[in-house]
Amino acid sequence: MRKLLFGMTLVVAVAALCLSPLSAPAQAKTLKWAFQGDLMSLDPHSLNETFLIGFLGNVYEGLVRRGPNLEIEPALAERWEIKEPTRWRFYLRKGVKFHNGNPFTADDVIFSYHRAMSEGSDFKTRVSTVKEMKKIDDYTVDVITKAPNPILISEWASWFIMDKEWCEKHGATESANVKSGKENYATRHENGTGAFIVTERQKDVKTVLEPYKGWWDKPKHNLTRVIFTPISSDATRVAALLSGEVDMMYPVPVQDIKRIDKHAGTSVLVGPELRTIFLGMNQTYDELPCSDIKGKNPLKDVRVRKAIYQAIDIQAIKKKIMRGLSEPSALMISPKLFPSYAKDFKRYPYDPAASKKLLAEAGYPNGFTMCMDAPNNRYVNDEQIAQAVVSMLAKVGIKVNLKAQPKAQYFKKVLSYDTEFYLLGWTPSSFDSWNVLYNLIDTRDPKTGRGKFNLGGYSNPKIDALTDKILSETDIAKRNLMIKEAYELLNKDVGYIPLHQQSLAWGKKDNVDLVQRADNVFMLYFVNIK
């Protein structure tokens, strides 16, 4: 017995020895930060995912880039001009070198265009309006588009330029392709022109970056080393910030914001995100399979759609579910991305009485039943929002059966247009309304891909016609008026029910100075550690 006790004491003693306080605080200029997932790849053309592309924006660069307020700035292209409506001339920056020392030239731009168009690439849509790229000289490239496209460069801040010679040397001239069954060199190695170099990478453990001394731009940051770690568990990520093991992390779970703010030395930075969360309604079926109304589809009636709209108490969703962290929206695009006229749009007021009246007028005085689809791990509190909508609709007599599923199953269902009523979010990658109109609002056309995310099949030929004009209109004032008209038509039809823009929440130590961009991208070259 004595031996046993002795043994246990020994165990405790050894444990205590190991438990000496964590080693000294991190060096002044090292930034440690965490996100909920890891980088899928280092290949800048492999996956169009906000986090991946945002991260790689520290390593690779495009011809243009986005500033703190998402304004377009010159990057690898010093300037550009529109020679003809379909011909853009780009003057490339001279003296830029890739991380391996190779010079950056026009050949790299043209190569990156072809690579982005290769089979395994997920960036074909970025450059698909380009008909041809012509090299004029080593530092001048002409881009010929299929049709006039005033927003050509708006998506190019995330179309990254790779080194032709390096890719050819390592057999990475096409983007990684699962079908080939072979690994691509660029999946695990980088050679960009950006402000930071990846010096070490262990999947799911850490990715270490160091500033690129030969960067063409003047660094605004004071970092000497950056260590990125994925931490998937929300509670652990919060703990890592509170215990000081990381200097910055995101996303912060809504319920932990107060806690981090109260803790000495840490705080949460909150700002509106660009993504719009909205509800879509099936307007193509002749009968809703889930509904007790047979022989017709109530959602085809604009009065019913408006009744649903007015039955939703958006302020209650903001207050109770989003804890104040959402901005109710009357538009299918963030007001930040349509500043000219966003203020002119108002939501239909929350009014259950009006809603009931509309239902009675449409011939459903006792309401009806239908099914709803929502993801439960895609957007902030997505399932809770859908549940709230269900209970609000129940008050006006519409009985909704909610099916909330993980995104993998959810997208499988709704992207095959098998849904009656659904919750979805959308951020236009070009930060421009044309993308929203073309993908979400225009009449579905399987041949051209137009309206492919118009999952409910809303259709208004007038909007379709406007979308075409908007694409090629080069007069910005005229263009904005047309966009405004399209959104007005949509709201009159209640083609969709916009809900809100959710908020971004980043947690950081007080001594970290950074820029929170509304596209939820963390650019390291804005970071300063005091």
Partner 1 sequence: MPAFIIRRLAQSVFVMLVVAMVAFLMFNYVGDPVHQMVGIETSMQEREALREALGLNDPPLVQFARFVGHAVQGKFGLSYQYKRPVAELFEERLPATLELSLVAALFSLVIGIPMGVYTGLHRSGFLSRVFMTFSLIGISLPTFLIGILLIFVFAVILGWLPSYGRGEVVAIGGWTTGLLTVSGLKALIMPAITLGMFQLTLIMRLIRSEMLEVLRTDYIKFARARGLTDRAINFGHALKNTLVPVITITGLQIGSIIAFAIITETVFQWPGMGLLFLQAIHNVDIPIMSAYLILVAFFFVVINLIVDILYYVVDPRLRVDIGKAGGHG
Question: Which residues in 284-343 contact partner 1 (CB under 8 A)?
Answer: none
Q: Does 185 bind partner 1 (CB under 8 A)?
A: no
| CA 241 vs CA 189, 362, 401, 496: distances in Å | 29, 54, 40, 39
Q: Does 408 bind partner 1 (CB under 8 A)?
A: yes
Q: Which amino acid is at 181?
A: G
Contacts of 212 (CB under 8 A, 6+ apart): 99, 194, 195, 196, 197
Residues forming beta bridges with residue 497, ordered by sequence position: 279
Q: Which range binds partner 1 by CB under 8 A, 42-50, 133-141, 321-329, 333-341?
A: 42-50
Q: Which of 26, 29, 30, 48 binds partner 1 (CB under 8 A)?
A: 48
Q: Does 200 bind partner 1 (CB under 8 A)?
A: no
Q: Which two tokens stand for residue 164?
A: 């032709």
Q: How far is the CB of 328 from partner 1 (least distance, A)?
A: 24
Q: Which of 6, 7, 200, 271 binds partner 1 (CB under 8 A)?
A: 7
CB atoms within 10 A of CB 265: 11
Q: Nearest Cα to 336, choosing from 504, 492, 152, 197?
A: 504
Site for partner 1 in 14-33 (CB under 8 A): 15, 18-23
Q: How far is the CB of 40 from partner 1 (least distance, A)?
A: 5
Q: Does 117 bind partner 1 (CB under 8 A)?
A: no
Q: Which of 122, 142, 485, 488 binds partner 1 (CB under 8 A)?
A: 122
Q: Which range binds partner 1 by CB under 8 A, 79-87, 196-204, 207-215, 315-323?
A: 196-204
Q: Which of 449, 462, 465, 476 binds partner 1 (CB under 8 A)?
A: 449
Residue identified by tokens 């007021």 is 349
Q: Does 240 bind partner 1 (CB under 8 A)?
A: yes
Site for partner 1 in 162-181 (CB under 8 A): 176-179, 181
With beta carbons less than 8 A apart as the criterion, state whether 192 and 61 touch.
Answer: yes
Buried-exposed string 191-229: b where 16+ CB fall within 10 A, e elsewhere:
bbbbbbbbeebeeeeebbbebbeebbeeeebebebbbbb
Q: Does 199 bind partner 1 (CB under 8 A)?
A: no
Q: Which range binds partner 1 by CB under 8 A, 83-91, 272-280, 400-408, 491-499?
A: 400-408
3-state SS, residue 386: helix
Q: How far is the CB of 177 from partner 1 (least distance, A)?
A: 8
- The Cα 433–Cα 439 span in angstroms is 10
Q: Which of 199, 202, 340, 511 binds partner 1 (CB under 8 A)?
A: 202
Q: Which of 345, 453, 485, 526 binds partner 1 (CB under 8 A)?
A: 453
- The Cα 492–Cα 378 span in angstroms is 29
